[in-house]
Structure 1
């Protein structure tokens, strides 16, 4: 997967490639679709949800550039595989999942891999989620029309947030960095399409 899909997909960061090599993707999907675990596609994981494709995961991680001392928040635990990759690269992961069933499965899978630097939480984080302190990085594994302002203020100065924004078929991966107390810089990285965040309804558009 890494040699044939991820690296040719412009993922060249050695730490990201090592993490994706170290974590067995088939350990995070149901046994009946395990033969497809390394396919370049978004696989079903239950509750009507899917996991990101390997290339999407690699490119997201490369863009985040997580460091071993940092704390990262993940919105959408899903299967737990991307959570495991985050845990390989960061010092601590806080991951929030809407479906308790998926969070419990992810917890079991992370335990099987001996991953201990992850805090799993359950709830609706579509618009906000309380944290005790500001955080180094936030990654959203489902798409928004626009990023909730709450999460921009959860970042430390120098922190960054990665999100997919827009509506299918025109979605863009955005990397937003907090450069000062009241300033953020946004960089559009590449286009992709992923499912929308549950309960993150688009704002009403008024026509005159």
Structure 2
């Protein structure tokens, strides 16, 4: 059984990571505090433990990755999370991003299409810290209509287009952050639902994500 420990060394490396993403332009103090409070090495295989606080992505299996901390902070900052908002996350992966959202006191509903990753997250003891975090096995393109509407929607995979069903599940005044584009590079977008059927779109930096795929994988 793996033992989850957070040493002074790991806390120090985490503080250095927070300082580095601050220098890269992340200014939201609540986001920086969340990154500082969450032991990223818990979300990785023990083989990566010594390099867990490098600002880069790492494989987590099934062709998926845990996102670069800067990317996690960037998307979270764009979402402008407020306590108790309902947030739909597409692409649970390791659950690191979901825990960052939960650390900000959002009510998080996160979907994973890869059954193996979904099952691993269910066994992850750290998630017990966040009763405001709920996990679902499903197709991200479908969202969670039963639990809609959502204040915020976060997509953590490269979408070829903006999924219409996710737009429908947003509250008026709600925001979606999503990387849209081809396989190599995507543009980060923030979409605000001004009224039913009316949306405003803002364009931000380029990133590279794994693709957002339809359906569920057993």
TM-score by length of 1: 0.90
Once residues 109 and 11 of structure 1 are traced to their aligned partners in structure 2, the CA distance between those partners, rounded to angstroms, is: 28
Distance 1:176 1:90, change over 3 A: farther
Shift of 1:112: 5.5
Shift of 1:128: 4.2
Shift of 1:100: 2.2
Counterpart selection for 1:105 from 120, 128, 149: 120
| Counterpart residue number, 2:12 | none
> Is 2:75 aligned against 1:68?
no
Once residues 45 and 95 of structure 1 are traced to their aligned partners in structure 2, the CA distance between those partners, rounded to angstroms, is: 17
Question: Could you tell me whether the CA contact under 8 Å between 1:97 and 1:122 is conserved in 2?
Answer: yes
Question: Could you tell me whether the CA contact under 8 Å between 2:158 and 2:183 is conserved in 1?
Answer: no
Alignment of 1:3-14 (within 5 A): 3-4=19-20, 6-14=21-29
Distance 1:128 1:14, change over 3 A: closer
The Cα offsets for residues 81-116 of structure 1, whole Å up to 9 and x where unpaired, read as 111001011431000001122123223335456121
> Is 2:181 aligned against 1:166?
yes
Question: Could you tell me whether the CA contact under 8 Å between 2:185 and 2:209 is conserved in 1?
Answer: no
Moved over 6 A (4+): none
Alignment of 1:83-98 (within 5 A): 83-98=98-113
Q: Point out where structure 1 has 5 or more consecutive residues left out of the alignment.
A: 201-208
Shift of 1:33: 1.2
> Is 2:172 aligned against 1:157?
yes
| Counterpart residue number, 1:22 | 37
> Is 2:134 aligned against 1:115?
no
Structural RMSD (CA): 1.6
| Counterpart residue number, 2:206 | 191
Question: Could you tell me whether the CA contact under 8 Å between 1:84 and 1:110 is conserved in 2?
Answer: no
> Is 2:156 aligned against 1:141?
yes
TM-score by length of 2: 0.86
Q: Point out where structure 2 has 5 or more consecutive residues left out of the alignment.
A: 1-16
